[in-house]
Chain A
């Protein structure tokens, strides 16, 4: 199986080559796209190839070559648009703070970027000119896009999509935003501070206690000595 990434209209040649089983006779090779058979095939000594013109999204997909002889062998080619990577782990931010989400395209330059917000099951495009004090979309470089969400609230929590538009189609990356209230980290913080204060107090109290014990022991000694005198 092979994955081939294409970002613009092009001509491409796919070929299937036979190395080992060349002793097999009566071979029938078919190139298919889905269930459709492709007619125009070039044949050389032990390879079969097709030439394709990829013009738009409909030309992409899975192409397979099948060799039917005594055994059936097939190979699969996946023609696809470049993949966009989002972030697997959620981005954590706080209410009232700013969140920055970044999407990158590796190697291929998209024509345009669009950001989507998920509302229930719908995907709503984010219009930064409409809500300029809430969303800021920046295209830092040709392959990188920035979404800045200001003044976060609990409602901003959820899944976001960054979509890159290529000549041949669109590709999406998923990002997740989690908005926490300030109370969330505050609880462990206060717990640890309390633990520190308790430990320090215990240490100091123990020291004062042991000093008092020593003092009273010394006083007793002095008292004994005085008595002896």
Chain B
């Protein structure tokens, strides 16, 4: 939401520094790129220090970035301050807040995800008029200063991220050094007894790889062994494909509307409709995803929503006139919200809360490339053909492809998981096969299907506030 919100200032800054539009657009791109590209670094830091310090640091960085941007005297300095520093701060905010949902919630995790992701459109809606107000009263320098202060509020949200237990990293080091088969279970505790229990997560993968100490150490911080994880690979490929066509339609919706001949305000209103529908769709999707019919098959629901999104784009060129576009915006908002709400939920579901930290880092850096490529490719399509419909067709096709791919692969994955579960149960009944118990626990950890006591959603709306400042 934040990179889009800052775009309001670009015209003035462009006049002030005398640069071209594309040079200004780089500010937004650098910010977005850093937010997603610094994902692994964020994951490493969370693995090492836990969520809370990272989020507070992120909030401070965002604040410092924007405040220093207020005193910039050249476009290059703006790239660094607004682009890199604030982007990096946002990255440090995004990862831990997504991760912490996995740590706090289990039974109602989809709802939590949905609500948290709903913060983004809320912020986008409020940020646009707020930015305009700040700009009219304080000019762009003053606005950056005040926005920096507002971003510091992330620290407050971060302070509320009470850690559930001791930092798991230090325990992992112990386990790895001793090299024992110390199999301890992950226990999720009630919020009341948060301070006491120690969450000890097991990393059998680290032990199995044995041998090279260096590899072990890297795996502690960033779990590269995830690349052997079937579910993770499916998710990665599907999502990378999807992001190629995800953001382009939003970027080009208003210009397309103006191209057909709709006036500026109505075109802007289309985006507002999208945002409002998005806002409602995200928590609703969370609730639906949490229902007992959908939750076991959440991957199917996710692939369906991606394909639905693609279908919307494919049908868009058929929409004629303003009412057609309004209908398109409503459906697009719905589809967009559905996908965003379940984006991280499905990853958690596949990988499990233990390895989610590293997973989210690796996924974001892979997505980073396609997110950045998406709109420019769409732009070149529009420029070469002079018509917007090819861009919509391309986005629609890519997303339908991604959706079907995910659907088929997850069907296969669910089957494989069910088979492994059967094998594990059969072997567990056999007391002699201790060797395979290792493998069994391994598979079991892939889905943290712990029926632990339910955790109170600790200040959910604060986490919603967290999501506001972040990408999707």
Chain B residue, CB-CB nearest to A218: B196
Q: How far is the CA of A92 from the CA of B138 in the complex (A)?
A: 6
Q: How far is the CA of A97 from the CA of B139 in the complex (A)?
A: 12
Q: How far is the CA of A136 from the CA of B181 in the complex (A)?
A: 75
Q: Beta-carbon contacts of B1-33 to A below 8 Å, as 1s and 0s? A: 000000000000001101000000000000000
Query: Is A203's CB under 8 angstroms from B15's CB?
Result: no
Q: How far is the CA of A200 from the CA of B67 in the complex (A)?
A: 20
B142 at the interface (CB under 8 A from A): yes
Q: How far is the CA of A199 from the CA of B152 in the complex (A)?
A: 11
Which B130-169 residues sit within 8 Å CB-CB of chain A? 135-139, 141-143, 145-146, 148-150, 152-153, 155-156, 159-160, 162
Query: Is B146's CB under 8 angstroms from A185's CB?
Result: yes
Query: Is B195's CB under 8 angstroms from A214's CB?
Result: yes
A34 at the interface (CB under 8 A from B): no
Q: How far is the CA of A156 from the CA of B460 in the complex (A)?
A: 50
Q: Which residues of A contact B195 (CB under 8 A)?
A: 211, 214
Q: How far is the CA of A206 from the CA of B149 in the complex (A)?
A: 24
Q: How far is the CA of A100 from the CA of B19 in the complex (A)?
A: 13
Which A14-44 residues sit within 8 Å CB-CB of chain B? none
Q: Which residues of A contact B67 (CB under 8 A)?
A: 189
Query: Is B146's CB under 8 angstroms from A203's CB?
Result: no
Q: Which residues of A contact B15 (CB under 8 A)?
A: 100, 102
Shortest Cβ gap from A219 to chain B (Å): 13
Shortest Cβ gap from B87 to chain A (Å): 21
Q: How far is the CA of A199 from the CA of B138 in the complex (A)?
A: 26
Q: How far is the CA of A1 from the CA of B226 in the complex (A)?
A: 73
Q: How far is the CA of A98 from the CA of B137 in the complex (A)?
A: 17
A89 at the interface (CB under 8 A from B): yes
Q: Which residues of B contact A214 (CB under 8 A)?
A: 195-196
Q: How far is the CA of A193 from the CA of B149 in the complex (A)?
A: 6
Q: How far is the CA of A190 from the CA of B145 in the complex (A)?
A: 10
Shortest Cβ gap from A220 to chain B (Å): 15
Query: Is A186's CB under 8 angstroms from B145's CB?
Result: yes
Q: How far is the CA of A97 from the CA of B16 in the complex (A)?
A: 11
A66 at the interface (CB under 8 A from B): no
Shortest Cβ gap from B71 to chain A (Å): 10
Q: Residue B162 contacts which of A180, A185, A186, A207 (CB distance < 8 angstroms)?
A: A207
Q: Which residues of A contact B139 (CB under 8 A)?
A: 91-94, 180
Query: Is A203's CB under 8 angstroms from B148's CB?
Result: no
Which A173-203 residues sit within 8 Å CB-CB of chain B? 180, 184-186, 188-190, 192-193, 196, 199-200, 203
Shortest Cβ gap from B453 to chain A (Å): 18
Shortest Cβ gap from B195 to chain A (Å): 6
Which A123-168 residues sit within 8 Å CB-CB of chain B? none
Shortest Cβ gap from B62 to chain A (Å): 12
Chain B residue, CB-CB nearest to A102: B15
Q: Residue A184 contacts which of B142, B155, B159, B160 (CB distance < 8 angstroms)?
A: B142
Query: Is A192's CB under 8 angstroms from B142's CB?
Result: no
Shortest Cβ gap from B456 to chain A (Å): 14
Q: Residue A189 contacts which of B135, B148, B160 (CB distance < 8 angstroms)?
A: B148
Query: Is A192's CB under 8 angstroms from B150's CB?
Result: yes
Q: How far is the CA of A189 from the CA of B16 in the complex (A)?
A: 23
Q: How far is the CA of A189 from the CA of B70 in the complex (A)?
A: 12
Q: Beta-carbon contacts of B376-404 to A below 8 Å, as 1s and 0s? A: 00000000000000000000000000000
Q: Residue A196 contacts which of B18, B137, B149 (CB distance < 8 angstroms)?
A: B149
Q: How far is the CA of A224 from the CA of B271 in the complex (A)?
A: 64
Q: Which residues of B contact A199 (CB under 8 A)?
A: 153, 156, 159
Q: Which residues of A contact B146 (CB under 8 A)?
A: 185, 188-189, 192
Query: Is A180's CB under 8 angstroms from B142's CB?
Result: yes
Query: Is A203's CB under 8 angstroms from B142's CB?
Result: no
Q: Which residues of B contact A89 (CB under 8 A)?
A: 136
Shortest Cβ gap from B209 to chain A (Å): 38
Chain B residue, CB-CB nearest to A190: B149
Q: How far is the CA of A184 from the CA of B143 in the complex (A)?
A: 11
Q: How far is the CA of A89 from the CA of B11 in the complex (A)?
A: 14
Query: Is B159's CB under 8 angstroms from A204's CB?
Result: yes
Q: Which residues of B contact A185 (CB under 8 A)?
A: 138, 141-143, 145-146
- Cβ contacts A to B, 9 pairs, < 8 Å: A91-B139, A92-B137, A94-B142, A102-B15, A189-B148, A193-B152, A196-B156, A203-B159, A204-B159
A-B pairs, 10 with minimum CB distance: A92-B139, A185-B142, A192-B149, A203-B159, A199-B156, A196-B152, A189-B149, A200-B159, A185-B138, A185-B145
Instruction: Known pairs A100-B16, A200-B156; list 14 more (Cβ under 8 Å).
Output: A92-B137, A92-B139, A92-B142, A180-B142, A185-B145, A186-B145, A189-B146, A190-B149, A192-B149, A192-B153, A196-B152, A199-B156, A207-B162, A211-B195
